[in-house]
Structure 1
Amino acid sequence: MAPMISFSVFIHKWTGLFTAVFLIIAGVTGSLLAFEKELEALVNPGQYVVPARVDANGQPAPMLDPFDLHERAIAALPGYQISGFPFLREPDRSVRFNLARSDKTLPDADQAFLDPYDGRLLGIRKYGATPFDRTTLIGFIYKLHYALALPRPYGEWFFGIVALVWTVNCLVGIVSTFPRISPFWRRWLPAWLIKRSASTYRLHYDIHRASGLWLWGVLFLFAWSSVMLNLRQEVYTPVMSTFLDFRKNPEPRKPDTSKPLLDWRQAYAIAVRTMDEVASKEGFTVNFRSQLFYNRRLDTYIYYANTSRDVQNDRGQTGVFIDARTGALLHTRIPTGEYSGDTVSRWLQSLHMAKVFGLPYRIFVAIIGLALAISAYTGLYVWWKKRKARLISEKRKQAKAARATSDLQAQPAGLRLTR
């Protein structure tokens, strides 16, 4: 086992050095993003927050019908295309619409915020454009988290490679803590402990090793789910397909322009009816509607609702894809219970993004993010101290060798020959 442990230590060191700085960034930003909505409301209240309204009887005031709000968004944003809208409403939050700029002379924006009570436009923004604007700061942190805020798709690819190396680091990291001699369990136990009275170096070493062991399962989950989110088609799906099955994505369709496009209300009515039929057939219940949007590439209306098959409970993950001109069902997307690969992927995604188990799990994810950053930092510190000590030792050896050579040269020639 000793050669395997030595090899694991070698791989763990170099993969750790490659990923350390990036994991510190990912850990800190991930901790913040566990409370993304709260931070958005804090730093961007002008766009994100609206005052909750009540009627004359003190009851919550009614909000605009989603289709009326959508029409007001279209009227307020000439030169932009609005691909769809959400149905979900919160009494003190604005409603966000996704935009596509059709008039290139207009400001580059991909999101708009409207007041759900009166349809007033609160503002537009380019999500994550800069950290120096309070309206885009949280989005920039999000982009920094998963792509170092680099241009697409290069940022996603690079961070995907980091996540893949991190996954390897997790696998070899646990082996690198194994004792090289017996008895195994008695000698491995100290690796799980932190000696608080030790030197600064030893304390950093213990924190790095013990945190990696205690949090190994969670860190591996986040590492592999990061690969899924950034390199799904390139790495994750091919690997997982060896023992899990996945639903294939729908192929792009050429629009049949000889038929008119369904309007939003028609598409919604058909999509709701189709969702109910799929629910009856597949044996799940529909809880609430989530969003409807038009996909130009597929020439398809896509409707999402929250159902008993969803992992998350704050939005819809169950979808039906209908032909944008005939209303025919083209594709369904059921998050769990149909394809094992889809079920695992939905859980990995939801766990990674802290979208399950409410506030306690979000707090847990924030703590894990900080723990990841501390683990990466302590690993860097241990490597730096070892390297520094090794350089000092080498300099001492070189100085000693140089003195020995100098002393030999300083001796009389006859004495040197005698020796």
Structure 2
Amino acid sequence: MLKRNPNKKKQNRSVFYRISAWLHLWLGLATGIVMIIVCLTGCLWIFKEEIDVMLDPALKIEKQDKPYLKPSDFQRVAKEINPEKTLSYVLYQHEQAAYLVLGKRGEGLSVRVNPYSGKVIQQPAKEGSFNFFDWVLKGHRFLWLSPEIGRPVVNYSTLIFMLLLLTGLVLWWPKKWNKSTRARSFSIKWGASVKRINYDLHNVLGFYALIVLLIISATGVVYGLQWWSKSLFWSTSMGKQLPVQERLLSDSTQMKPGLHIIDQMDKAWDKFSNGKNDFGFYYAYPKPEDNGATINFFRYPTRGKFYDLRSYTYDRYSLQQFKDKGIHAQDYYHSSAAVQLRKMNYDLHIGSVFGLPGKILAFTASFIGLSLPITGFIIWWPKKRKKKNS
């Protein structure tokens, strides 16, 4: 009786298919743990703001018919909280308590205050204490390693993950389309064996999440790899260069005695806000001793979204607004399609570009993404053991 040749099926496949299968297996094994961590932390980060408000409803601040506090007001609140710490920056997102960060960025104390009255809503935790979402973000960005080591690992693993998604599509694609192959390719056979269900979870769910995972991955690497960021902009703009964010400097020849930076920030704020309070904002406090420092405000016009964010930069002495050519300084609604796409990058990354349904979609795709290395390993491991025993 003739024995069945186990390699016959492989021999009937094209070289392209076999190369794709080899890359899919070994690159998947090499980056699997990294992508499980990145996808899991991404799932948690997507709903950070919603979780914060759910755990502490006092953080939700109803819109009031009064102006926001000025930079000097926030600075005074910060001094009352901790006179030894310098206020680093202020972040306010629509209808939530404002963040005040005292001390060095990434190391300071975070305080939540009412943006209209300055009332402290959430007291600062002790310096060095555990913050869950800071921990999540560090895992997402650099695996809780030093940034110099962890960030490249995450970035290049994510690029490899994109390749795995494409090779997975090659492996998913049926050799012939018929009723049987359509059923296997688009549906999970829940009544089958555990082995078959696991295979379907990997194969079918991977297909359905493919496009969303490619978008999430491509937009994520924009923040980590300059060459990828520039290449992606070049490809979406039909060959144009990514606008360079140059460092703007105040004209120190305009310096006058008694001209304090905090007073100038208040005046610049008046120009920036124009008496309105229908936007979110972010700004950092320049160091008084830095004579070339500018005053920079970011405006978030749309609640829960970042694509129409716009930055405004002022000379700290003359208060003249700079004509900045950087991406964030451009008006979204009067920008090219490539610039609009780049300004939309973070919203695409977390799904907020489509509101809550988009975030749910991004969460679901990311959850499938973290399952793929697990189900893939379960497919491979018995085959490895069987091959070893034979």
- Matched with 1:327 is 319
One-letter identity of the residue aligned with 2:145 = L
Matches for 1:298-309 after TM superposition, within 5 Å: 299-307=293-301
One-letter identity of the residue aligned with 1:8 = S
Matches for 1:368-407 after TM superposition, within 5 Å: 368-393=365-390
Cα-Cα RMSD: 3.6
> What are the superposed Cα offsets for residues 295-342 of structure 1, whole Å, 9 maximum, x if unpaired?
5587121122234xx695479611112222222222124345424333
Secondary structure in structure 1 of the residue aligned to 2:191: coil
One-letter identity of the residue aligned with 1:219 = L
Secondary structure in structure 1 of the residue aligned to 2:220: helix
Q: Does 1:21 align with 2:12?
A: no
* Residues 212 and 78 of structure 1: CA distance in aligned 2, closer, same or farther (over 3 Å): same
Q: Does 1:83 align with 2:99?
A: no
Q: Does 1:367 align with 2:371?
A: no
- Matched with 1:266 is 267
Contact persistence 2:307–2:347 (CA under 8 A):
no
Secondary structure in structure 2 of the residue aligned to 1:97: strand
Matches for 1:224-303 after TM superposition, within 5 Å: 224-231=218-225, 233-244=226-237, 245=240, 246-251=242-247, 253=249, 256=252, 259=255, 260=259, 261=261, 263-272=264-273, 288=279, 290-295=281-286, 299-303=293-297
One-letter identity of the residue aligned with 2:108 = A
Contact persistence 2:35–2:370 (CA under 8 A):
yes
One-letter identity of the residue aligned with 2:172 = T
Contact persistence 1:311–1:346 (CA under 8 A):
no
> What are the superposed Cα offsets for residues 153-207 of structure 1, whole Å, 9 maximum, x if unpaired?
432222111111111112222112234x5x3566752333322232222221121
**Higher Rg:** 1
Q: CA deviation at 1:268?
A: 1.0
Measured in 1, the distance between the counterparts of 2:121 and 2:300 equals 28
* Residues 88 and 238 of structure 1: CA distance in aligned 2, closer, same or farther (over 3 Å): closer
- Matched with 1:341 is 338
Unaligned runs of 5+ in 2: 1-12
Q: CA deviation at 1:368?
A: 2.0
One-letter identity of the residue aligned with 1:96 = Y
Percent identity, please: 18
- Matched with 1:200 is 194
One-letter identity of the residue aligned with 1:269 = D
- Matched with 1:280 is none
> What are the superposed Cα offsets for residues 93-119 of structure 1, whole Å, 9 maximum, x if unpaired?
5321123349xxxx9525233355453
* Residues 185 and 216 of structure 1: CA distance in aligned 2, closer, same or farther (over 3 Å): farther
Secondary structure in structure 1 of the residue aligned to 2:243: coil
- Matched with 2:22 is 10
* Residues 340 and 18 of structure 1: CA distance in aligned 2, closer, same or farther (over 3 Å): farther
Measured in 2, the distance between the counterparts of 1:257 and 1:188 equals 74
Match of 1:96 among 77, 81, 99: 99
Contact persistence 1:83–1:98 (CA under 8 A):
yes
* Residues 153 and 126 of structure 1: CA distance in aligned 2, closer, same or farther (over 3 Å): farther
Measured in 2, the distance between the counterparts of 1:50 and 1:376 equals 37
Quick check: 252-261 or 234-243, which moved more?
252-261
Secondary structure in structure 2 of the residue aligned to 1:124: coil
- Matched with 2:165 is 170
Measured in 2, the distance between the counterparts of 1:234 and 1:328 equals 34
* Residues 336 and 373 of structure 1: CA distance in aligned 2, closer, same or farther (over 3 Å): farther
Contact persistence 1:268–1:292 (CA under 8 A):
no
Measured in 2, the distance between the counterparts of 1:347 and 1:88 equals 17
One-letter identity of the residue aligned with 1:346 = K
Measured in 2, the distance between the counterparts of 1:168 and 1:50 equals 41
